[in-house]
Amino acid sequence: MRNLKVFIAYNGANYHGFQRQDNAISVQEVVEKAIGKLLKCEPPVIYGCSRTDAGVHARRFCFNFRTDSKIPCSGFVKGMNTILPADIAVLSCEDADEDFHARFCTKSKEYVYLINNKPNRDVFLQNLAYHYPYPLDIEKMRHAALLFVGEHDFGAFCRAEGKARVKSTIRTIYEVTVSENAGVVEIKIRGNGFLYNMVRILAGTLIYISEGKRTEDDIKSALLTRNRDFGGVTLPPEGLYLNEVYYGT
Amino acid sequence: MRNLKVFIAYNGANYHGFQRQDNAISVQEVVEKAIGKLLKCEPPVIYGCSRTDAGVHARRFCFNFRTDSKIPCSGFVKGMNTILPADIAVLSCEDADEDFHARFCTKSKEYVYLINNKPNRDVFLQNLAYHYPYPLDIEKMRHAALLFVGEHDFGAFCRAEGKARVKSTIRTIYEVTVSENAGVVEIKIRGNGFLYNMVRILAGTLIYISEGKRTEDDIKSALLTRNRDFGGVTLPPEGLYLNEVYYGT
């Protein structure tokens, strides 16, 4: 039986996240149904690399699924893109090893948080960035962001109900960059794993740093005490993108 | 009476163009109603710098209107942006001379045509670019585009019903650039005026040049004979942006 490894992109504005839900439309459900239609079979179960929250986007999201179909990978990409709605696209497909699993084989992931930092809303970034119209101190945010790099207990940067789901809240962040281009600020974070709402809280903490509502000492305290109060606000989902998933060594 | 000069941006995906229509929603109607609501008056008539077709966008579009209101310009911008839907934004407002007219005082305009030239559709450019998935010869397009520069009779690059509307089809193009960034090709055209569908036909002609379906000699013939057959296809509206309107000297 083949094990297909598929990368997709999606605009999450109209979905209640990736994961299948009982009473709301999810990316998973739409993709599974499209596969069933293309391969003329019961919709298979697909295994996603990540849950994403309602409204969150993915530039590159990986899933795998098993099939007996002999469809060529190129035909799968082409066929899926004619069936899927315009806000989901299949980027690539390949035959993976039998034991490949999109979630459990992940080595690291990269998220991007986009902030429209122009005074007025951007009609072309509707649902695609968080609008924060006040000046941001990028240098200050960049400096504070370095405190996140390394292996830390990120328990303070996790939504409460997320903590119960995981054995440990220790994660390693490899890199954080804060850049600005034409009034759009991009916070990019790569790490070996992320807790529930972690990127949205880290990004919100950097905004609080810029505003002076939190200090670098607060971040250090957050990492030591796991106390959520030392962190900043949880930013809304529309600015968040799963940017890349890394496998292999 | 004040004569207010206002710049707006809009995502045209959900509108039947700028100009008020009887049976379809237009940007003009929505903006006029918002002004009426903000200034607590009958919706005034606003004078737009341009018609735009259904689905066409504007990064900077100017209109003017007369009012007795004493609202400060900054209050107008802020107030309008709370009333307008997310796909229309007021960028600026200023008191203009009594004889300023957004359409008749235009010195030049700049349009951009965006082409998603990646193999797959871009879920974040839905309705915001034309998807052309085959390789484009940018150098060849750039070279041919130079033929448009200068004062020419663009009768061949105008939709038939547009010709009846104008006294002359002679226009001056000041600059055409063709650039590529991360798989998105941008054709930028600045001129003293444009005919109906002119930018969409010019952009389509450059694609035909890349494909070898038209030659530079065909463009020369088009400019000499006004025969539409020498031009290329009219590209769809979703790639077109009114980028800037210039006034003054």
Specify the pLDDT at position B249.
57
A91: nearest CB among B10, B120, B124: B120
Chain B: give the shortest CA distance to residue A243, in Å.
13
Whole-model pTM above 0.80?
yes
DSSP assignment of A184-240 equals EEEEEEEES---TTHHHHHHHHHHHHHHTSS-HHHHHHHHHH--GGGS-PPPPGGGE
Q: Distances from the Cα of B2 to the Cαs of A42, B62, B68, B92, B247, in angstroms? A: 66, 16, 6, 16, 19
Residue A144 has pLDDT above 70, yes or no: yes
Nearest CA distance, B200 vs chain A (angstrom): 20
Among chain A residues, CA nearest to B79: A120
- Residue of B86, B120, B121 lying closest to A126 (CB–CB): B86
The whole-number pLDDT of residue B193 equals 93
Name the pLDDT band for A249 (thresholds 50, 70, 90). low
Q: How far A233 CA sits from the closest chain B CA (Å)? A: 23
Which residues in chain A are closer than 8 Å to B87, comparing Cβ atoms?
123, 126
A131: enclosing H helix or E strand: strand A130-131
Spell out a b/e string for A114-148, using b for 16 or more CB atoms within 10 Å of the CB, else e: bbbbbebbbbbbbbbbbbbeeebeeebbbebbebb
Question: Is the CB of A176 inside 8 Å of chain B's CB atoms?
Answer: no
Q: Tell me, yes or no, if A106 comes closer than 8 A to chain B by beta carbon.
A: no
Do B240 and B61 form a contact (C-beta atoms < 8 A)? no
Of all residues in chain A, the one with the smallest CA distance to B9 is A123
* DSSP letters spanning B133-183: -S---HHHHHHHHGGG-EEEE-GGGS-HHHHTT-S--EEEEEEEEEEEETT
Residues of chain B with CATH 3.30.70.660: 108-246
- B123·A10 Cβ contact <8 A: yes
**Residue contact A120–B11, C-beta within 8 A:** no
pLDDT interval class at A162 (50, 70, 90) = confident
Nearest to B121 among A81, A121, A124 (CB): A81
Q: What is the pLDDT of residue B248?
A: 80
pLDDT, tens digit, 9 for 90 and up, residues A44-85: 999 999 988 999 999 999 999 999 999 999 999 999 999 999
Distance CA B64, CA B106 (A): 12
Choose the closest CB to A86 out of B11, B81, B126.
B126
User: Which among B124, B127, B186 is the top mutation candidate for probing chain A, defined by the most A β-carbons within 10 Å of its own β-carbon?
Assistant: B124
How far apart, in Å, are the Cα atoms of B134 and each of A94, B118, B155?
22, 8, 29
Give me the half-sphere count of Cα atoms (radius 13 Å) on the Cβ side of residue A158: 23
Instruction: Pick out chain B residues at pLDDT < 50.
Output: none
- In CATH terms, the fold of domain B108-246 is Alpha-Beta Plaits (3.30.70)
CA distance B44 to B140: 48
> Where does the pLDDT of residue A10 fall: very low under 50, low under 70, confident under 90, or very high at 90 and above?
very high
Query: Is the CB of A11 less than 8 angstroms away from the CB of B124?
Result: yes
Nearest chain A residue to B88 by CA: give it: A123
Residue A149 has pLDDT above 70, yes or no: yes
The minimum CA-CA distance between A125 and chain B, rounded to whole Å, is 9
Chain A residues in contact with B11 (beta carbon < 8 A): 123-124, 126
Backbone φ and ψ for A69, nearest 5 degrees, come out as -60, 145
CB proximity B211 to A under 8 Å: no
* C-alpha distance from B244 to closest chain A C-alpha (Å): 16
Residues B10, A123: C-beta atoms closer than 8 Å:
yes
DSSP conformation letters of A7-55: EEEE-GGGSS-SS--SSS--HHHHHHHHHHHHHTSSPPP-EES----TT
In which residue ranges of chain B is CATH 3.30.70.580 found?
2-95
Please identify every residue of A annotated as catalytic: 53
Is the pLDDT assigned to residue A3 strictly greater than 90?
A: yes
Identify the DSSP state of A179.
E
pLDDT tens digits for range B50-97: 988 999 999 999 999 999 999 999 999 999 999 999 999 999 999 999
Question: B2-95 has which fold?
Answer: Alpha-Beta Plaits (3.30.70)
Judged by CB atoms closer than 8 Å, whether chains meet at A89 and B126 is answered as no
A89 and chain B: CB distance < 8 Å anywhere? yes
Say what the pLDDT of residue A230 is: 87
Q: Taking a contact as any Cβ pair under 8 Å apart, which residues of chain A between 25 and 84 contact chain B? A: 57, 59, 77, 81
**Tokens describing residue B111:** 């349009």
> Chain B interface, mutation test: which of A73, A123, A243, most B Cβ atoms within 10 Å?
A123
Query: For position B59, what pLDDT does the model report?
Result: 97
Q: How confident is the model at residue B180, as a pLDDT?
A: 96
Question: Mean pLDDT, chain A, as a whole number?
Answer: 94
